[in-house]
Structure 1
Amino acid sequence: MSDNRILLETARLTLRRLTMDDVDRLVELDADPEVMRFLTNGAATPAATIRSEMLPRLLAQYDRCPGLGCWATLDRFTGEFLGWLALDPSDDGAEGELGYRLRRPAWGHGLATEGARALVRHAFDTVGVRRVWAQTMAVNDRSRAVMARAGLRYVRTFHLTFDDPIPGTEHGEVEYELLAGDWPGVRQEWDAALRAR
């Protein structure tokens, strides 16, 4: 498949640029209370917010920081929209914040880890960032597991104040990171594991 909107492909996934045609897909994704549980306590993102605020901001990132941004994540073989994976750029483009949001049927199959690892490799080997990091609620065990399997290491737990806290907020937020200096060792581990298969 030759398409300049495609960032990369893995064994099971295609990551491509989002477009304004993805509004309905993103609305459906954020309408699942379980998908949004640790973000909004299950509240959906309004379609108008996705159309007028979120997507225009995400689309602008592609040109501002080439190789970084939020990528529609598709089943490589069927083309089905599964959700998104992201490396949101810092203001200077030297860091990427790893993120992922997949539809519930895609959970539990290692797809978030597969896509996250591909983005981490891309971030260091192609873009040349100095750091990839991520954060989530301390109680979000599934997301924390993806971060760890993507090579990121726990850095800290911190507490934020919210006007309308959701259950689990009292346990804080956690931050994970992988620095450019530590990447060669992680890459070596991954490559050795692939060769051993």
Structure 2
Amino acid sequence: MQVKDSKRLHYRLLTAADAQLLADLDSDPEVMKFITGGKTNSLEEVKTVYIPRLSTFTEESKGWGLWGCFELPDKHFLGWILVRPAHFFSEQRNDRDLELGWRFKQISWGKGLATEAAQQVMSELVSANPDVTHFSAIADEGNTGSINIMKKLGMSFVKKGLHTDILGDMEVVYYEKPVSK
């Protein structure tokens, strides 16, 4: 699966070869504020923890993985859109509900780029995953930036609850949107 360029962004699936891009993004405490409480990830952590984790859910034919978002025309890396089945790392994995996530550099905040990227990726995913019934996303309740993106994507609040993950559990808000067919 490929994601076509949107108005301001170019997309490609990230791989282990992109570890430095991921580490650079994760090196900003403000970017990591609502994910790890501001703790940054080193290049070594990206290579030993996050790249192996990414490889478990990346499936190019379905568009699952991290879609790198590169600003046009120069293709500077700004961030990524995550796509994977909801609850992927649990016994409740649901391939019919695709979880979306995003992480972008501060220089891109407030410009609508994460929303543009998520909308573009979502539109491409529908044809690659005909059995998908929902898109969903989670965020820390205080992360109003991410929650605003969810709302702009047409997602609605579902619940507040504990998101369990091997990397750490956290209280989050859950949003979802049914897929229009």
| TM-score, with structure 1 as normaliser | 0.77
Considering only CA atoms, is the larger Rg found in Structure 1 or Structure 2?
1
Q: C-alpha distance in 2, partners of 1:53/1:34?
A: 21
Taking a change above 3 Å as real, the CA distance of residues 51 and 136 of structure 1, as seen in their structure-2 partners, is: same
Q: TM-score, normalised by structure 2?
A: 0.83
Alpha carbons 1:65, 1:93 under 8 Å: kept: no
Deviations 1:12-69 (A, max 9, x none): 1111011222111111110101000001111011322211231233234333762222
The structure where strand makes up a greater share of residues is 2
Cα gap change, 1:25/1:154 in structure 2, threshold over 3 Å: closer, same or farther? same
Residues 161 and 89 of structure 1: is their aligned pair in 2 closer, same or farther, counting only changes over 3 Å? Answer: closer
- Where structure 2 has 5 or more consecutive residues not aligned to the other structure, the ranges are 87-92
Q: Which has the higher contact order (CA 8 A, sep 6+)?
A: 2
Which of 106, 110, 120 in structure 2 is aligned with 1:108?
Answer: 110
Task: Give the aligned length.
Answer: 171
- Match of 1:174, as an amino acid? V
Where is the helix percentage greater, Structure 1 or Structure 2? 1
| Same amino acid, percent of matched pairs | 30
| Structure 1: runs of 5 or more not aligned | 185-197
Measured in 1, the distance between the counterparts of 2:52 and 2:121 equals 22
In the TM superposition, residue 179 of structure 1 has moved relative to its aligned partner by 1.6
Spell out the pairing of 1:1-197 with structure 2 (5 A cutoff): 6-63=2-59, 66-90=62-86, 91=93, 93-128=95-130, 129-159=132-162, 172-180=171-179, 183-184=180-181
| 17-26 vs 61-70, which moves further | 61-70
Q: Distance in 2 between matches of 1:55 and 1:8?
A: 24
CA distance in 2 between counterparts of 1:89 and 1:65 reads: 14
TM-superposition CA deviations, 1:105-137 (whole Å, max 9, x none):
011110000011112222324322121100111
Structure 1 ranges of 4+ moved more than 6 A: none
